[in-house]
Amino acid sequence: MYSSPLIEQLVEAFRCLPGVGPKSAQRMTLYLLERNPNGGKKLSEALELAIARVGKCSRCRTLTEEDICTICASRSRNRKVCCVVESPADIYAIEQTGAYKGLYFVLMGHLSPIDGIGPDQLGISELIDNVAQNDIEEVIIACNPTVEGEATAYFIAEQLRGEKALVSRIAHGVPVGGELEFIDGGTLSHALNGRKQMDLS
């Protein structure tokens, strides 16, 4: 029982975040009210602005407040390669590597018939049109290596059959610095299947 309805409302509001239970929600609420009201004000302003203005890029569907996101608008990207990911967080992860200079397409999820998520929700026909209209030469499918992610990857590859773009799937396998004896069987069998010839040049 809280001493005020507003405090109770704030605790409840924090619980909409993933992984935040009643105790954490209470801790965050009291921290902001007791110790950091300015931080709380900044948070609420930033949140309100972002929710009001952020939408989807009309080309790649990632989150942005512009019609076209900065990656799609950039002249320095390779416009002939498109990497398909499940979420904007995957873009941030790939961008951090600095190893990829092409464009993206964000599904915002994976196929999940139980949750009512089908090809329409993932914008798969938009992706196919995008590949055809922009003469994309390679589509790299970087869905997660989960059962749903694999099913989604296969579905997209099937839909792209007949397009001239090369369709590839990111390799999964042994992490850099990992030791084989500690790697699970599924990962190891993926690594074996995805083996490649050693380049000695």
Per rule CB under 5 A, is residue 81 in the interface with Zn ion? Answer: no
Per rule CB under 5 A, is residue 136 in the interface with Zn ion? Answer: no
Distance of closest approach, residue 108 Cβ to Zn ion, in angstroms:
13
Q: Which is nearer to Zn ion, 56 or 190 (CB)?
A: 56
Per rule CB under 5 A, is residue 94 in the interface with Zn ion? Answer: no
Residue 189, CA distances (Å) to 47, 142, 144, 148, 174 in order: 44, 18, 16, 18, 10
Q: Which is nearer to Zn ion, 10 or 128 (CB)?
A: 128
Distance of closest approach, residue 71 Cβ to Zn ion, in angstroms:
5
Q: Do the strands 138-141 and 78-85 form a parallel or antiparallel pair, or are they unpaired?
A: parallel
Q: Alpha helices, DSSP H only, in the chain?
A: 5-14, 22-34, 37-53, 70-73, 88-97, 124-133, 147-159, 185-193
Distance of closest approach, residue 12 Cβ to Zn ion, in angstroms:
35
Per rule CB under 5 A, is residue 124 in the interface with Zn ion? Answer: no
Per rule CB under 5 A, is residue 111 in the interface with Zn ion? Answer: no
Per rule CB under 5 A, is residue 169 in the interface with Zn ion? Answer: no
Per rule CB under 5 A, is residue 107 in the interface with Zn ion? Answer: no
Q: Please tell me the count of residues contacting Zn ion according to CB under 5 A.
A: 5
Q: Which is nearer to Zn ion, 105 or 155 (CB)?
A: 105
d(CA 200, CA 138): 25
Site string for Zn ion, 34-73 (x = CB under 5 A): -----------------------x-xx--------x--x-
Inter-residue long-range contacts of 157-162, CB under 8 Å, 24+ positions, other chains counted? 159/119, 159/124, 159/127, 159/128, 160/128, 160/131
Task: For 131, list phi and psi in degrees, rounded to 5.
Answer: -65, -45
Binding residues (CB under 5 A) for Zn ion: these are 57, 59-60, 69, 72
